[in-house]
């Protein structure tokens, strides 16, 4: 029995390489816009995580190791996701 035709769901989108050029451009534009969401989202999560911590010293020093805890992790994630914003600022200057 040949089940190759039924292995993939019919509503699955085609891979990006199979898209028409206009579809690839739209996909690339969506990915570029989505890259701007990461840094603000990480900063918001750092603020929310800092509000859940009992004391201000815990915000910066979450434990015995300087990068222990959620707030420093979210701040590092925001830092790593800044390049799209820096490129945008560079184009405007």
Instruction: pLDDT tens for the chain, 93 residues: list them.
Output: 555 555 666 677 767 666 677 777 888 888 888 889 999 999 999 888 877 756 565 556 555 555 567 888 899 999 999 999 998 898 887
- What is this structure's pTM? 0.57
Which helix (H) or strand (E) is 42 found in, with range?
helix 38-52
The tokens describing 18, both together, are 């199979």
Of 9, 6, 71, 56, the residue nearest 79 (C-alpha): 71
**Dihedral over alpha carbons 40, 43, 49, 52 (to 10 degrees):** -90
- Cα–Cα dist 80/32, whole Å: 16
Please tell me whether residue 37 adopts helix, strand or coil conformation.
coil
């Amino acid at each position: 029995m040949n089940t190759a035709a039924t292995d993939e769901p019919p509503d699955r989108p085609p891979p990006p390489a199979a898209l028409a050029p206009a579809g690839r451009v739209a996909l690339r534009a969506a990915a570029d816009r989505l890259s701007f969401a990461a840094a603000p989202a990480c900063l918001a999560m750092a603020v929310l995580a800092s509000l859940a911590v009992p004391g201000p010293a815990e915000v910066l020093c979450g434990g015995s190791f300087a990068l222990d805890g959620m707030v420093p992790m979210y701040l590092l994630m925001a830092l790593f996701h800044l390049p799209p914003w820096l490129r945008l600022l560079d184009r405007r200057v």
